[in-house]
Amino acid sequence: MYGGHIVDDWDRKMCATYLNYFMVDELLDETEMVPYADGKLVWPSPPPGPHEKYIEHIETMPPESPLLFGMHPNAEIDFRTTQCNEIFAALIDLMPKDAQSLDGDSSSKTQKTPNEFAAEQKEIILDDMQLADKVVNIQEIKDVLSQGMNPYQNVFVQESQAMNILLRCMLETLRQLDLGLKGQLTISDTMERLIHSLANGQVPV
């Protein structure tokens, strides 16, 4: 998880700090090898002895943990979460896309291509969900609050403006995708990524 190579200046600084701490005479007096764990993880240096004893001691080293690096145990959570997301994203990318039922209905034998599934999802979002009607009328809100807005109302207006930006972006890209799927526009790289995301049930990026 933490790697074994120095790849940048931060790695070099960290390794130099640990070497300055450990490479002292006290290392031969069973000094604590996990100095920043506050007693939560204990592993002293080995006493003087033959080479085999040193190898045996190294093999008893505790499993890799953020505590070994003076970090909180929760530091590993974000890494593991990101790792799982990347693994499952790779698995989704490896799934066959041209001859499978992408709607997840195992009882249906209808085979859909990514383009067909993207077109279906586009219809649901634009027509069934009536996305265009979800755009917030900011001016109407400001007129209602014309007597003066408190901090909570001000945040509400700002969040509504941000939501409108997202909705307009979704409307524009989905309408362009509609034209592209109908052959009225050339399918661009952006449209290809949108088709891929819709087919995989992912949020487009």
Answer whether residue 156 shows pLDDT above 60.
yes
Mean per-residue pLDDT of the chain: 82
Question: Torsion-angle region of residue 180: left (phi > 0), alpha (psi -120 to 50) or beta?
Answer: alpha
Q: Secondary structure of 145-188 in the HEC alphabet? A: CCCCCCHHHHHHHHHHHHHHHHHHHHHHHHHHHHHHHCCCCCCC
Query: What pLDDT digit, counting tens, does each position of 82-101 carry?
Result: 889 899 888 887 876 654 44
Burial of 195 by CB count in 10 Å (0-12 exposed, 13-18 middle, 19+ buried)? Answer: buried
Query: What pLDDT digit, counting tens, does each position of 123-147 carry?
Result: 888 888 888 888 889 888 888 877 7
Q: 183, 181, 203: which is closest to 194 by C-alpha? A: 203
Q: Hey, is 36 helix, strand or coil?
A: coil
Predicted TM-score (pTM) of the model is 0.53
Residue-level length of the chain: 205
- Round to whole Å and give the CA distance between 36 and 51: 28
